[in-house]
Amino acid sequence: MPVLEVRDVGKVFPGVIALGGVTLNIEQGEVRGLIGPNGAGKSTLITTIMGVHRPDSGSIWFRGEDISRMHIWDRVRKGLNATHQTALYVPELSIRRHIELGIMVNGFPATDVMLIAETVGLEGEMDENPDVLSALGAKKLEIAKALSTRPSFIMLDECFAGLSFEEGMEVIEIIRKIAEERQLTVLVVDHNLALVERVAHVTTVIDRGVVIAEGTFEELFSNQDVVDAYMG
Ligand SMILES: Nc1ncnc2c1ncn2[C@@H]1O[C@H](COP(=O)(O)OP(=O)(O)O)[C@@H](O)[C@H]1O
Ligand SMILES: [Mg+2]
């Protein structure tokens, strides 16, 4: 049974059909890519899975349970978490504090803080404020925050945006590490196809709110619908 099942999910915003019936199945332990042109509905899919908003139609199942009507915090408690396109920080709080929050709220042991910091490579900057971080450092902190709730499934939105190829490869190393060491299932969303190709086992393509293809990169880019979506 897939760990996550998105069944025919629709989401309409005033004047725009963001998701027009998306179906997606992700297996335990998979690193899945999700690509698609700007405005395709990638971020809306993530926020709908997290419970930021309710789907207008269809349902979302996590580990065999219908979570479509569940509050965001209950979804987090069940093991889901995500990083968002734009990082959110409290400038007065140290990096350590940002990672500690999710750990304390959930009553997890304080030792999680350093373990997570070491996993993402922020252990030397824990007492700094987030505004000293480079674009890569900010991505690391986003991933650290998502890990702080001990998720079993994380979704990383625009996880390579603003990074060089080499920095993107560092993020890929972190993704591989967490997938292996923490047995996480990961959904990687980005525009940088060369980087998504390097980390994802299977990639799903969405365009205008619907899934148009799914497969390895070789399969995807021999598909005319995918080429057309990217070439306009
Ligand atoms: N909160 C919102 N209110 C209104 N429209 C939105 C909102 N979020 C996204 N949209 C619209 O939904 C569509 C899909 O957006 P989004 O999911 O952000 O796409 P992507 O992440 O693939 O670029 C776009 O047309 C976008 O303008
Ligand atoms: Mg987006």
DSSP SS3 for 49: helix
pLDDT bucket at 91, cuts 50 / 70 / 90: confident
Q: How many Å lie between the centroid of ligand 1 and the Cα of residue 113?
A: 34
Ligand 2 centroid vs 181 CA: distance in angstroms? 28
pLDDT exceeds cutoff 80 at 232: no
Question: How is residue 218 written in tokens?
Answer: 């070789």
Q: Report CA(38)–ligand 1 centroid distance (Å).
A: 9
102 token code pair: 């999710």
Name the CATH superfamily housing domain 4-88+151-231: P-loop containing nucleotide triphosphate hydrolases (3.40.50.300)
CB 165 less than 6 A from any atom of ligand 1: no
Q: What is the pLDDT of residue 31?
A: 97
Cα of 208 vs centre of ligand 2, distance in Å, is: 12
Of 129, 133, 157, the residue nearest 143 (C-alpha): 157
The mean pLDDT value of the chain amounts to 94
Residue 231 predicted with pLDDT over 80: no
> Residue 136: how many CB atoms within 10 A of its CB?
18
Collect residues with CB below 5 Å from ion ligand 2: 42-43
Q: What is the DSSP string of 89-144?
A: --TTS-HHHHHHHHHHHHT--THHHHHHHHHHT-GGGTTS-GGG--HHHHHHHHHH
Q: For ligand 1, say whether the CB of 43 is within 6 Å of any of its atoms.
A: yes
111 Cα: distance to centroid of ligand 2 (angstroms): 33
- Give pLDDT tens digits for 181-208: 888 999 999 989 999 999 999 999 999 9
Per-residue CA distances from 60 to 14, 25, 47 (Å): 22, 10, 12
| Residue 231: partners with Cβ closer than 8 Å, 6 or more residues away | none
Q: Find out whether the beta carbon of 36 lies less than 6 Å from any atom of ligand 1.
A: yes
Q: Tens of pLDDT along 30-51?
A: 999 999 999 999 999 999 999 9
Beta carbon of 32 within 6 Å of any ligand 1 atom:
no
Residues 79-85, mean pLDDT to the nearest whole number:
93
Mapped to the 3 state alphabet, what secondary structure does 181-228 carry? HCCCEEEEECCCHHHHHHHCCEEEEEECCEEEEEECHHHHCCCHHHHH
Instruction: Domain ranges for the chain, please list them.
Output: 4-88+151-231
Ligand 1 atom with the shortest distance to the CA of 85? 21
